[in-house]
């Protein structure tokens, strides 16, 4: 059973950066892909980006290219998402997710028939 | 990036009725890599369907998915009280995944 535990809520000033962590347990972290999704208050889900271990650089939604940085530390089984140049529009709950497999796109995803989500991290951007 | 358009935005129905939700893609979704999620307030999304038509682990058979290419449908055969929630489609056919805007199934 894979468990993802995210870091706690953050309050940030406009123009600053935030780094959210997502610690995985209960499985073979080194083979997991991860995605990051956010949800602004009262809004829908927004895919931010994803990473496949040892495969190459992360992929980002066009909207977040150049402003988001997704990394994974396999020694600590932790994935990270850093977002810079924050504005009030970045106020949202940020989720990490994994299918427990090596892919987050294409027919190789969801091979276990399920996925796993962190509990979400509320990031509030306010002056 | 592939744009997903969900309709309707809101679907008022009664328990026991059938719900039909649509998700249309701006271009063909590779390998029918389309998933459906259910979300309740304050909770993380829950995977219902992947690969356009495969039910996720533990999902009741009243949920079914269909479609291919650019047109996909989620059907809930008989609404239970716990099914009133918001539903999102996700395409994962490309390295840049995208979500639809969501459909809220509410009690009429």
Chain B CB within 8 Å of residue A117 CB: yes
Q: Per-residue DSSP letters for A47-102?
A: EEEEE-TTTSS-EE-GGGTTTEEEEEETTTTEEEEEE-S--GGG-EEEEEEE-SSS
CA distance A121 to B2: 27
CA distance A64 to A92: 14
Q: Choose from B92, B94, B98 for mutation: most chain A CBs within 10 A.
A: B92
| Statement: residue A41 has pLDDT above 80 | yes
| Statement: residue A45 has pLDDT above 90 | yes
In angstroms, the separation between the Cα of residue A27 and the nearest Cα of chain B is 17
| Statement: residue B89 has pLDDT above 90 | yes
Please report the pLDDT score of residue A56 as a whole number: 81
In a 3-state reduction of DSSP, which class is residue A16? coil
Mean pLDDT score, B78-95: 97
Contact A118, A36 (CB under 8 A): no
In a 3-state reduction of DSSP, which class is residue A122? strand
| A 76-105 residues inside an 8 A Cβ radius of B | 95, 104-105
Mean pLDDT score, A89-108: 93
8 Å CB contact of A106 and B33: yes
Task: Report pLDDT digits (tens) over A19-38.
Answer: 999 999 987 777 789 999 99
Residues from chain B contacting residue A105 (CB–CB below 8 Å): 33, 92-95, 97
8 Å CB contact of B92 and A106: yes
Percent of chain B, pLDDT > 70?
100
In angstroms, the separation between the Cα of residue B101 and the nearest Cα of chain A is 6
Mean pLDDT score, B10-36: 97
* b/e map A41-65, b = 16+ CB within 10 Å: eeeebbbbbbbbeeeeebbbbeebe
**Which residue did the predictor score with more confidence, A76 or A31?**
A76
In the 3-class helix/strand/coil scheme, how is chain B assigned residue by residue?
CCCEEEECCEEEECCCCCEEEEEEECCCCHHHCEEEEEECCCCCCEEEEECCCEECCCCCCCEEEEEECCEEEEEECCCCHHHCCEEEEEECCCCCCEECCCEEEEEC
User: Encoding tokens for residue B26?
Assistant: 């701006």
In angstroms, the separation between the Cα of residue A113 and the nearest Cα of chain B is 5
Kindly state the helix (H) or strand (E) to which residue A111 belongs, with its residue range: none
Report which of A39, A70, A117, A122 is spatially closest to residue B88, judged by C-alpha positions. Answer: A39
CA distance A74 to A32: 10
Percent of chain A, pLDDT > 90?
76
| Statement: residue A101 has pLDDT above 90 | no
Task: Report pLDDT digits (tens) over B15-24.
Answer: 999 999 999 9
Chain A CB within 8 Å of residue B48 CB: no
Report which of A27, A36, A71 is spatially closest to residue A53, judged by C-alpha positions. Answer: A71
**Which residue did the predictor score with more confidence, A107 or B98?**
B98
């Amino acid at each position: 059973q894979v468990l993802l535990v995210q870091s706690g809520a953050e309050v940030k000033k406009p123009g600053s950066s935030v780094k959210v962590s997502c610690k995985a347990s209960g499985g073979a972290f080194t083979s997991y892909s991860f995605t990051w999704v956010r949800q602004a208050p009262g809004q829908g889900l927004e895919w931010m980006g994803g990473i496949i271990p040892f495969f190459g650089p992360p992929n980002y939604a066009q909207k977040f290219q150049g402003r988001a940085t997704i990394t994974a530390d396999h020694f600590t089984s932790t994935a990270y998402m850093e977002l810079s140049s924050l504005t009030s529009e970045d106020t949202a709950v940020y989720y990490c997710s994994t299918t427990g497999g090596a892919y987050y796109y294409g027919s190789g995803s969801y091979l276990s028939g399920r996925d796993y989500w962190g509990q979400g991290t509320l990031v509030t951007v306010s002056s | 990036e592939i744009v997903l358009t969900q309709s309707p935005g809101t679907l008022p129905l009664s328990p026991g009725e059938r719900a039909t939700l649509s998700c249309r893609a701006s271009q063909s979704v590779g390998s029918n890599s389309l998933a459906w999620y259910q979300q309740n307030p304050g909770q993380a999304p829950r995977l219902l369907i992947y690969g356009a038509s495969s039910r996720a682990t533990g999902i009741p058979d009243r949920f079914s998915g269909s479609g291919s290419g650019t047109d996909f449908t989620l059907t809930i055969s008989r609404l239970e009280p716990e099914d009133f929630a918001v539903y999102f489609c996700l395409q994962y056919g490309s390295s840049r995944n995208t979500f639809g805007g969501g459909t809220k199934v509410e009690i009429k």
